[in-house]
Structure 1
Amino acid sequence: MSKHDEIRMDQQQLAEAWQRTLPDTINEGDRATVLPDEADSKTLRVTIQSAGHQAYNFDFKVVYVDSREVKSTLIDVEKDGRTVDERTDIIQQLVHDYTRHIHECAQALHGLTHA
């Protein structure tokens, strides 16, 4: 990452901006929580709770590659507090959708992160 394209924003402020913006990019009824990663200042922890009877919790690690691009990694999927098999078709589809929504949120926040 070149010096001129690094994020120029406090991690806590960035997490708060994500917390405000991500609910606008995910599916209606889903809920999102965004927190700073205490171990890495360029990383956010994103939890998305899917709506409906499935009620899955998806935990993602979101790392800024540069001021515009993020890399999101699925950490865990839980249902009723228990880890579930992430390889099922429904979960893979949801992971794909949420990954896209995470990238849309990063794009929406580019005006803030590329100050």
Structure 2
Amino acid sequence: MSKTDVLTIDQNELTEAWKQTLPTVLNESDQAEVAPDEHDPKSLRIHIRTAGHSMYTFDFLVTYVDSREVSVKLVDVEKADQTVDERNDVIQNLVEDYVRHIHECAQALKNVTTS
């Protein structure tokens, strides 16, 4: 892979593509919001609300390493608007699941992000 493999898509176009695609890889009842990161044109902010009574919300920072690969960082986990310890097993499993879904979404968008 050459060093010129960089993300060239406009951040707003990228955000729209993620808004369209992310719900297709998440659990049907989960809700996701995608927003551009204000500090980095190669990054997006993803906010996911879990379905059901658990009332968890997860915030992720997704940054494109190149046109195909993303780095996913957990920013915050809350339950009923209260910050929670994200080290418990239930939350860790949910985080792993969402990170996998986020990577699936990035893969699904390869045709959009690679020129």
Shorter chain as normaliser: what TM range?
over 0.9
Aligned AA for 1:2?
A: K
- Which residue is 2:56 aligned to? 56
- Which residue is 1:2 aligned to? 3
Q: 2:3, 2:31 → 1: CA distance?
A: 34
1:69 matched to 2:59? The reply is: no
Q: 1:22, 1:92 → 2: CA distance?
A: 20
Aligned AA for 2:45?
A: R
User: Cα distance, 1:55 vs. partner?
Assistant: 1.4
SS of the equivalent of 2:52 reads coil
SS of the equivalent of 1:24 reads helix
1:103 matched to 2:99? The reply is: no
Aligned AA for 1:50?
A: T
State the identity as a percent. Answer: 58
Q: 2:34, 2:104 → 1: CA distance?
A: 15
Q: 2:12, 2:87 → 1: CA distance?
A: 33
Q: 1:11, 1:64 → 2: CA distance?
A: 11
SS of the equivalent of 2:29 reads coil
5+ residue gaps, structure 2 = none
Q: Flag as ranges the 4+ runs of structure 1 deviating above 6 A.
A: none
SS of the equivalent of 1:53 reads helix
Once the two structures are superposed, what CA deviation does each residue of 1:6-51 show, in whole Å capped at 9, x if it has no partner?
Answer: 1121001101100110000011100000000001111100011110
- The normalised TM-score by structure 2 is 0.96
- The normalised TM-score by structure 1 is 0.96
Q: How many residues align?
A: 114
RMSD over equivalenced CA pairs, Å: 0.9
SS of the equivalent of 1:7 reads coil
Q: 1:9, 1:82 → 2: CA distance?
A: 36
